[in-house]
Each structure stands twice: as C-alpha cells, then as structure tokens.
C-alpha cells in the first residue's frame, strides 16, 4: 500500500474505481482559511467538545452556535471543563472543538478543528440569547453555557483527486 502510494505521480489522475473498499477513488485535502472554517461551523448545529478529564482525553457531542467568531455551547456533562472556567481571572482551559460533514460512502466533505480557551458565559443578556438559540438535547436541571475563543483553526476539505 505504501509502495503503491509512493509510485503515484503528483498531478496525474489515478482512478481506483476497481477498489471496492474505496469507491470514490483517490481524494486530496485542501486547507481552508479561518473565515471559511467558521462559516462551515456556523452552518451545522452540532460538533464535539474535546477536553481533559482526570488527566484523560474526553469528548462529548454538543450543539453549538458561532457568535462573533467564537463557538458557544451548552453542556451538562464535562464538569471538569466548567469547574476550571468558573474561577475569576482564570484565562480558561484549553479545549478542542470539532465538527465535520463527511460522506459515509465517499469520505468526501470537510472537517474543522478549533483549539482555544473555554470560559463560562456569565453575562445575563448573553446567557438569555444563547439559551434561546441553543436548546439542550436532553432536559436536565443544570447546564452551563461555555464560550470557546479560537486560538488555532485547522480546517480541510476532502475533494476528489481530479478536482
């Protein structure tokens, strides 16, 4: 497989349509800029917040809104995430946030990964606005509204090799 890949010549189209494990054939990754990444994120309703819990990697699917370049989520889970961001003067805890839209058959689509500081939203007007826009998936008595300020955004589009 590695040998096969090494023999490929850049710029030459290779059709792998005979490969049942990869019906879409070869594809390539196109890096997207910050603006396009946030536009794609804003166009979907949910993603996954990634954080560290008890020194282990943790991930939870949540819904989100993009507001002024920040990602805003409401979370019931991830108490570890919120406990850090509740302390005044704390710059926040670093989390990652991921959303994607990848076709299960062709694996064409896009993926956006944001890394940034997560902080509790405490302003009452902001809270009211976000709570109206973001309905939690499951009713619980306690939830937190968290803003993630992107420091680094890595976004790619997976397109057919021939495009």
Q: How far apart are CA 158 and CA 163, in angstroms?
A: 10
| Shortest Å distance, C-beta 139 to a second copy | 5
Q: Applying CB under 8 A, which part among 31-39, 51-59, 84-92 lies near a second copy?
A: 51-59
Q: Which residue among 40, 41, 51, 72 contacts a second copy (CB under 8 A)?
A: 51
Q: For tokens 């997976």, name the residue.
A: 158
**Cβ(79)–Cβ(150) under 8 Å?**
no
**Cβ(148)–Cβ(116) under 8 Å?**
yes
Nearest CB to a second copy, comparing residues 33 and 151: 151
Q: How far apart are CA 19 and CA 16, in angstroms?
A: 6
- 149 burial via Cβ count (<10 Å: 0-12, 13-18, 19+): middle
| Shortest Å distance, C-beta 113 to a second copy | 6
Task: List the interface residues with a second copy, window 79-118 (CB under 8 A).
Answer: 94-96, 98, 100, 102, 104-105, 107, 111, 113, 115
Task: List the interface residues with a second copy, window 127-156 (CB under 8 A).
Answer: 131-135, 137-143
**Partner residues linked to 160 by β-bridges:** 27
Q: 3-class DSSP state for residue 35?
A: helix
Nearest CB to a second copy, comparing residues 73 and 158: 158
| Shortest Å distance, C-beta 163 to a second copy | 13
Q: How far apart are CA 97 and CA 61, in angstroms?
A: 10
**Residues that bind a second copy in the complex, under the rule CB under 8 A:** 1-2, 5-6, 8, 14, 19, 21-22, 26-29, 44-46, 48, 50-52, 56-61, 63, 94-96, 98, 100, 102, 104-105, 107, 111, 113, 115, 131-135, 137-143, 158
């Amino acid at each position: 497989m590695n040998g096969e890949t090494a023999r490929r010549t850049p710029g030459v189209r290779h059709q792998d349509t005979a490969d049942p494990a990869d019906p879409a054939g070869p594809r390539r990754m196109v890096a997207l800029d910050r603006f396009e990444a946030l536009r794609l994120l804003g166009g979907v309703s949910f993603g996954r917040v990634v954080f560290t819990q008890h020194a282990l990697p943790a991930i939870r699917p949540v819904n989100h809104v993009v507001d002024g370049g920040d990602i805003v989520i409401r979370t019931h889970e991830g108490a570890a995430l919120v406990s850090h961001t509740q302390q005044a003067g704390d710059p926040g805890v670093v989390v990652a946030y991921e959303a994607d839209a990848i076709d299960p058959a062709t694996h064409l689509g896009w993926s956006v990964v944001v890394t940034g500081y997560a902080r509790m939203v405490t302003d009452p007007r902001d809270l009211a606005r976000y709570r109206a826009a973001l309905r939690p998936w499951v009713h619980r008595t306690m939830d937190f509204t968290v803003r993630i300020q992107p420091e680094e955004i890595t976004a790619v589009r997976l397109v057919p090799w021939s495009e």
